[in-house]
Chains A and B, each alone.
Chain A
Amino acid sequence: MLRILHDVKVDWLALRKPLLMFSILLLLAGLVSAIGRWATPGGTEPFNLGVDFKGGTLVTVDFKSPPSLDDIRNSLSGVGMGDAVIQPALDKQGRFLIKVAQQGTGEEAQSKAEVDDGAAKVGEALAGFGQRVDRATGEGDWDIVSKDAVGPVAGRQLRNQAITVTLLALVGILLYIAFRYEWTYGASAVITVFHDVLVTLAFFTVFQWEVNLTTIAALLTLVGFSVNDTIVTFDRVRENLRLHRRATLYDTTNEAINQTLSRTVITAGLVFLSVLALVLFGGEVLRSFSLALFIGVIIGTYSTIAISNPLMVWWQQRLERAGRGGAKETLPRPEGGPRQTRTTTAPAKRRAGAAAR
């Protein structure tokens, strides 16, 4: 049989420090980007929020003979919408996405619940490019093929709902895993998912990809995928612990990761390919969904090895130690290193276990 990654013996948990550093770096990059953008006056906002969350109007226009970006921008400036974002669709010639912010400023715009008519103004601006396509005859030069107008109240509501729903889903996951395993496993899985979502969001702020409702769907998908990956290893840890009662948690976890590695690589690889197809052929509407998933698949797989398992091992050992009276252990350092007082680190525990045997 064709096999990849057969009989791997890697001490994954020993890599936890560099991996953790890497995660922290990614998160810091996101934090710096978000705070930097927030603090820079007149700069971009931390996240490039779509009209779903910020309010405003997104108009998709098809031109029969596409004008240049500058032409469109000029005619939009002509009706006082110079700050509209114009984006040509990558997958269809002559299609443009025009994003118009909620009109009005400050207090007035905040208190106004209603959607404004950004689309009507865009229509006015487009009048310079000829006639709108007639519904019956199909004659004309351009057509508004879609329009999303969201008022600030609805935007706020959608934003709050997205956050609440995501948190609730995480609580659900926590409860189930806590019921099936120990609560440390559940907490580790949920913390890992937080990590994954935050890293993905870091990419969104650094590269200023648009965050909209489909991004939320993608983040939820990523949550599912990441938890799935984590559970597969946890499950193996649980099974191995039953089989080899005398082995340490550290060794057992490493073994579990190695045993499930071929499955991890195959599944992640296949999902990755499907998502790649989505990025390449999925079209403009699905773009931010595809991008979030693209990052999510990589991060979800990575975090199982880098975050959830080390975290679970560390936590369990800490609890066990606390259960034994919470005494600090003085451990011999291998290779004749200086003796150290260690409290928490996993390898110390493993070596202690090995020494006991």
Chain B
Amino acid sequence: MKKNLLHRVIIILVVTLVALWIVIGPRRWPPTLADFTPQGINNTLRNNIRLGLDLRGGSHLVMQVQVADYLKRLTENVAVGLQNSAKEQQFAISNATPQVEGDDYRIIVEAGEGVDVQKLKDELPKRANDFDPSIWTASVDGRRVVWEMSDAAKTVLSSQAVAQAKQIIDTRINAVGVAEPNLSDHGAQGSHQILLQMPGERDPERIKKTLTAESRLELVHVISPQGMLQKYPTKEAALQSIGGAETQTRKVYPYVERDAPVEGEPEPAQKPEPEWVVVETPNVIEGADLRDARSSQGDGGGDIYQINFDLKPRGAEKFGRWTAANIGNYMGVVLDDQVKSVATIQSQINDSGRITGSFTKNQAEDLSLTLRSGALPAKLVYLEERTVGPSLGEDSIRAGVRASVAGLVFVIIFMVLYYRGAGINAVVALLLNMLITLAAMIWPLDASLTLPGIAGLILSVGMTVDTNVLIFERIREELLTGKTVSSAVDQGFSRAFVTIIDTHVTTIVSSLFLFVFGSGPVRGFAATLIIGLVANLFSAVYVSRTIFMWVLSRKGKRAESLSI
């Protein structure tokens, strides 16, 4: 009995000290005496307990990658590739038509006179750029060959696009200089969502803009007679000049020199109406050929900035060849389907160029940053934005702590008044439970404390009280049936234990579901609750039992009364 008691006391002391050290111990060695002054402990606490965004202040952004756009663009590119392959191999075909219907992506090629459809199906993809046979399943339908994107490929491509977008976002936030950003997948599988958390960020407008900039850069041939750039006042007029609709080789883009004004900067007196130009597709150079991009002050000086860019060797070679053949023609710099600047090709250009478009300094810097980080595979949209200012977070902490302390004081006063000596057990169990829960959140879980987390903590304190009450009431009942003190305590614990296990396991089971399938606040709540409940089994059962054992051992075997 005595030996058993000693073992228990040692285990409890070790757990308590370890938990205490995790919570208030400084994270460096050796600790100084100053670490254990109230001021020092306060500082250590601030370091050790990681607060969630709702308490600390910060920004929480949920973005969705519009993968449908990506798959559509891919389909269009491959269609162009097939078209070119047909030309190269001298197959007579009508247009290779990309077709998007709901979730289906396909390319339809109609065989011309005297072309063997089967041969077309086999030979056409062999020389097509960007054609990946694992993506497309071909079928012959009369005189037509249909390539359809397989479902498996859609899933793979989508998750690739999301992963790529994530990587680009990561590069961009690092370039902007966000402290401790946290980037993760979000939502259900296949929802293509990305969660970005930025602690301490209270006004994410500029970051939001930078992140969603698609920054798809293209250099294109602008169709125009030499000497004077051919612009059209409306889209219709531009379309008219190419026969009423965009064709396989001609597209119509708006030509806007000035970007939309950024918040906080003076708006231009009059927004220029866009003009329209006709360009040749496919483009000459794409963003992927870009090696570097920097912003610099424009030739005119003042507040007009431009972006200078360099091309990779492969792009430079292609660009050099093309410019040499097109001296006197117009080249357009297209960004996200908008023509930003148009220049006459004076001579052969090899590996560098510039985008002028009367950008402001900020715009030019942000744009060159996004160009350097690469183009997003598809558009990003914001599904959710939650920003909490640090002052509100502090208020919430204060309110939460005040409420918890008030509740705790009520409980402690009652327990001590009602259960007297045994009430002390309850108070010890309560405080120990909170200490262990906090410690477990710091290490090993490394979880952050959020508002719902505090709520979970309060509920687990409620469970501690319930556990104590169950045990104490049971001991009282056993005492009333005339049992000796020590057997009443034994019986009380062992009988109440069955109930306690059932209530705890039920709550843990339901909390596990919340933790696994829930997100955000619900998860935080479930996590603290689960830890709290496990800690409770230790503090309200094991520790409380030990205290009773200790009290009884001091009274000796023939103890006749118990303060309960």
Contact = CB atoms under 8 A, between A and B. Distances in A.
- Give the interface SS of chain A, mostly helix, strand, loop or mixed: helix
Interface stretch (A139-147, A194-202, A306-314, A344-352): A139-147
Interface string B401-424: 011101110110010011010000
Contact of B458 (A143, A161, A278): A278
Contacts of A271: 462, 465-466
A275 B407 CA distance: 7
Given A150-B384, A224-B459, A270 B465 contact: yes
A80 interface: no
B469 A267 contact: yes
A235 B454 CA distance: 30
B153 interface: no
Contacts of B463: 228
Contacts of A236: 499
A221 to B, nearest CB: 5
A270 B383 contact: no
Interface in B503-522: 503, 505-507, 509-514, 517-522
Nearest to B476: A1
Interface in A142-183: 143-151, 153-154, 157, 161-162, 164-165, 168-173, 175-177, 180
A176 B381 contact: no
Contact of B382 (A114, A165, A225): A114
Given A3-B476, A270-B410, A278-B403, A146 B522 contact: no
Contacts of B408: 274
A283 B400 contact: yes
Given A2-B417, A151-B382, A270-B462, A232 B400 contact: no
A97 to B, nearest CB: 11
A311 to B, nearest CB: 17
Given A146-B387, A165-B514, A231 B477 contact: no
Given A217-B525, A227-B506, A273-B407, A114 B396 contact: no
Given A172-B512, A282-B400, A162 B502 contact: no
Contacts of B191: 157
A172 B383 CA distance: 31
Interface residues of B, number: 75
B564 interface: yes
Nearest to B410: A273
Contacts of B187: 157
Contacts of B392: 60, 145-146, 285
Nearest to B467: A267
A357 interface: no
Most chain B CB atoms below 10 A, which of A143, A220, A221, A260: A220
B381 A263 contact: no
A170 B514 CA distance: 10
A277 interface: yes
Contacts of B513: 165, 168-169, 171-172
A286 interface: yes
A172 B509 contact: yes
B451 interface: yes
A329 interface: no
B391 interface: yes
Contacts of B459: 221, 224-225
Contacts of B229: none
A176 B507 CA distance: 10
Nearest to A212: B521
10 contacts: A113-B381, A114-B381, A115-B385, A143-B389, A144-B389, A147-B386, A154-B62, A161-B519, A213-B521, A221-B459
Interface of B: 54, 62, 64, 187-188, 191, 202-203, 263, 381-389, 391-392, 395-396, 399-400, 402-404, 406-408, 410-411, 414, 417-418, 420, 451-452, 455, 458-459, 461-463, 465-466, 469-470, 473, 476-477, 495, 498-499, 502-503, 505-507, 509-514, 517-522, 525-526, 529, 564
